[in-house]
Amino acid sequence: MPLIMKNASKWGFAAVPEVTYGTAPAIDPATNGIRLYQPAGVKVGYSYDGKRQGKSPGTYAQVPRVGAEGRMADLEWKCEAAGAGEAYSATKLPLAHLALLACGMKAVIVTTVGSETVTYTPGDDADFVSLASESYEDGQLFAVQGILGDSLEISATLGQIALFDAKLKGIMAATPTDAAIPGTFAYNATIGPKATQMALQFGTGTPFAPTRVDKFSLKSKLGLTERYYDNANGRHGGFFFGEQRQWSLEVDIEAPPLKAATPYYDATSLGAWLLHELGDQFPIALTIGSAQYKQFSIAGATAQMAAPARDKKGAVACIKLSLDLMPSSETTNDEVSIVYN
């Protein structure tokens, strides 16, 4: 007999794209395993938890509940922001590929020998992809369908491995079951790039390019909308993306000399508060890593300075640059591009 009934220290996670929203294809741990650095932490929830209104008329007691309805799940995809570690193709993709698709991104894969890349940009209706997943946690299997992303973050601190974090929501067609982690699980074990060479520049002409970048965080807030109950299948109706998508980039750098003349930046100086006050737009690019098939870059063609903030690291004066990434026009989806090469 085992010393404990269920082990909370081991986990397994696999995911696949869906062809029909909310319908899970077959999942094979040997080919669909995803290496998360911590469990997905599936939280079971309900559209209606069964609690009734008011209390018993003749006493001070509450009235009995009815059965809960609309089973759903929250889960989190935390992995290293690793590439494939080898030439990119339809089957050799970055570790966070499926999570990026679930967060409303579309991928363009270039297979030119020696110059293989995967480029992610914000998608529109026809590009949206939902996922199905199987998460083995606490000696149980949590199967989730119709998964879409509520938010994502790519971040790194100087000298550490870049990380990816997506918060997701989906439907649970069945309750969790007891299950052992399959011995056939296989993962992409590529190590993500260290943030030892974070090359930042923004602007045109002579762009601002600080030599000392401490950390960065790229965030997207999507905001999922809960759909009506699925009466035909007697279950939660799933989700769809919210009405507004927001992209932002925060970068911490050592404080540069201030520049008070247009265009308010050059190679080594920056007028961050003036850029914020004037609402100027400018391109921005940030590269992490230097090894082919592991490195990636983040770019925004039309960034704007949000509220810059003073900071410090011991005795060193620093500044936190907060940038909003905007589309180039009212009808384009090009706020940001994430390129693995």
So what's the pLDDT on residue 94? 97
Q: What's the burial of 335, exposed, middle or buried (CB within 10 Å: 0-12/13-18/19+)? A: buried
The residue ranges of every structural domain in the chain are 11-46+69-340
Residue 13: which of 190, 189, 182 has the closest Cα?
182
Residue 298: which of 270, 266, 332, 323 has the closest Cα?
323
So what's the pLDDT on residue 5? 87
So what's the pLDDT on residue 196? 87
CB atoms near residue 316 (< 10 Å): 11
Radius of gyration of the chain, Cα coordinates, nearest whole angstrom = 23
**DSSP H or E stretch at residue 99:** helix 97-102
Quote the CA–CA distance of 299 and 230 in Å, as a whole number.
40
Query: Which residues in the chain come in under a pLDDT of 70?
Result: 1
So what's the pLDDT on residue 1? 57
So what's the pLDDT on residue 197? 79
Q: How many residues does the chain have?
A: 341
Q: What's the burial of 175, exposed, middle or buried (CB within 10 Å: 0-12/13-18/19+)? A: exposed
So what's the pLDDT on residue 7? 87
